[in-house]
Chains A and B, each alone.
Chain A
Amino acid sequence: MDAHSSTQSLRQAGWVVLLLAFTSGFIIMSVELLGGRILAPYFGSSIYVWGSIISIFMVALSVGYLIGGRLSVLSPNLGRYGLFFLLAALGLLPIVFFANQAMDAVFAAIDDPRYGSLLASTLLFFIPTAILGMIAPYSVRLMVNDTDHSGQVAGGLYFVSTLGSALGTLLTSFYLVLWFDMNTILLAMITVLLLAGVLAIVLNRGRL
């Protein structure tokens, strides 16, 4: 595969990158909102619990951006992009199966619910959120063909993924928590991430 056909295939993948960036934006905010529910039985639902969750999500995303940006330098391709989604899905699994055990341990170890909720947020949400954060800069690299349009491409991606975040926030808080158990919602999002990852990997194979 020469350099030209490689960029060609990446450009054709534009729609799928947009779709997947939307999906990751949706899931990041949906998980963040559910995070408040997950921590409340152990640390309450006070303002400091939200402070813990939001700050850990911000730190995790910023680390993810850094790592994703670094990885985008080394022969970027849809296959690796798909791998991020698979890893993010795996990273969310412990929230479904081990959240209570982890929070039991934190609750026993730390008296102050502020630092308890901060540590619990870190244990539960840091890794999956950081992986989801890697997707953003990598998406930009996959879609940018020339420096003239790099800003425009980045703008389009921010647009789509932030719109996804808005929708994830709204749907989760208005409807999903009314219709489903929290673990059902999380498992559905894990499934969507797995499907997204497989889609990207299959498309990458098809282009080889």
Chain B
Amino acid sequence: MNLLRLLLAAIVTLPFALEGEVIHQERSIYRNIEVQQTRNQRCLVFAVRRDDRRQTCLNLDEPDRIVFSYVRMAFGGLLLVPNPSSILIVGLGGGTLPTALAKLYPTAQIDAIEIDPSVVKVAEQFFNFKTSERIKVYTQDARVFTKRARQEAKQYDLIILDAFTGDYIPEHLMTQEYLTETRDLLSPAGVVVANTFSASELYSYESETYKSVFGAFFNFKLPGSGNRVILAKPSGLPSKDQLQAAARNLAPTLTTLGVAIEEFPRYLTTRADWDTNSPILTDQFSPANLLKNR
């Protein structure tokens, strides 16, 4: 009887213990935003009733350590462009990536695009994100920014695409045309890193779409993570030896962030593990949200 009561109590309180205490809540024009905090972790949550999506978490005891594996994986892009002087990040979240990259590259110019002004505010208030001369945030749609930036002939050594919340995909940011516009923003030896979907029918569609724009790319999956990160470099991919050399150079600084960069090269592959006959996504045909559920 006591055991049963204990079990019941555990079932009732467990979800709360995992989610933590809500320390901030607001409704933006795009979504409901929550900041939840447990003992040593603070997370940005885009609250959706059926499935709360944690966007970013901050380890309060060791704020430099990157909590999410897909964010750590994004640092894999540095293996292809070891010393970027200009960086574009699409999708701010809590600002983990721009904050960490600004520390790693104190002279780099970093532009972040975030459509939701409330997310920018929350990143600044709760996740130590700070804008400056070097770190700028543009509060607008990424497609609009990209088209304008192309007009102005802006160039970036590293572009990180991370605009998807998991629940809803902005379909105009997945198409061949968008990726082509993004490729046009790359400097001659520039690199694109994309955090993408690893499950559902969308995986094949997305992979083929990236291939059509960037040619062969590194498909990057870490065991046990469930994420897939695409690393593309139109000017040509480095060899395994070059990757390992780059990893050795980066290791001393990246280990402080909790990024095991020396593990990465062996998981980078150009082998296609998807249906290569899959259609590609275009501005004419981009039912990404429908495909995601199949």
Chain A residues engaging chain B, CB cutoff 8 angstroms? 37, 40-47, 107-108, 111, 113, 174, 177-178, 180-183
Contacts and interface: CB of A to CB of B under 8 A. Distances in A.
Interface in B256-294: 282-287, 290-291
B290 A42 contact: no
A107 B147 contact: yes
A44 B285 contact: no
Contacts of B287: 177-178
A153 B115 CA distance: 48
Contact of A41 (B172, B285, B291): B172
A76 B285 CA distance: 41
Contacts of A108: 151
B170 interface: yes
A183 B284 CA distance: 7
B290 A177 contact: yes
Contact of A46 (B141, B171, B283): B141
Given A45-B172, A47-B29, A177-B290, A40 B143 contact: yes
A45 B170 contact: yes
A205 B288 CA distance: 48
Contacts of B143: 40-42, 44
A16 B141 CA distance: 45
6 contacts: A37-B172, A37-B286, A40-B283, A41-B143, A44-B143, A174-B290
B178 interface: yes
A180 B290 CA distance: 13
B29 A43 contact: no
Contact of B172 (A40, A174, A180): A40
A179 B129 CA distance: 43
B284 A43 contact: no
B64 interface: no
Interface of B: 29, 115, 140-144, 147-148, 151, 170-172, 175, 177-178, 282-287, 290-291
Contacts of B29: 47
A85 B29 CA distance: 38
B115 A182 contact: no
A125 B80 CA distance: 46
A207 B147 CA distance: 56
Nearest to B170: A45
Contacts of A182: 283-285
A182 B290 CA distance: 15
Nearest to A117: B144
Given A40-B171, A44-B172, A181-B284, A113 B290 contact: no
A44 B284 contact: no
A37 B173 CA distance: 12
A174 B290 CA distance: 8
Nearest to B151: A108
A41 B171 contact: no
Contact of B115 (A46, A111, A180): A46
Contact of A43 (B144, B151, B283, B285): B144
Chain A CB within 10 Å — which of B143, B144, B170, B286 has the most? B144
Contacts of A43: 141, 144
Nearest to A179: B287
Contacts of B283: 37, 40-41, 182
Contacts of B291: 178
**Minimum-distance CB pairs A-B, first 4:** A44-B141, A40-B172, A181-B284, A178-B287
Contacts of B115: 44, 46
Nearest to A49: B141
A186 to B, nearest CB: 10
A178 B29 CA distance: 27
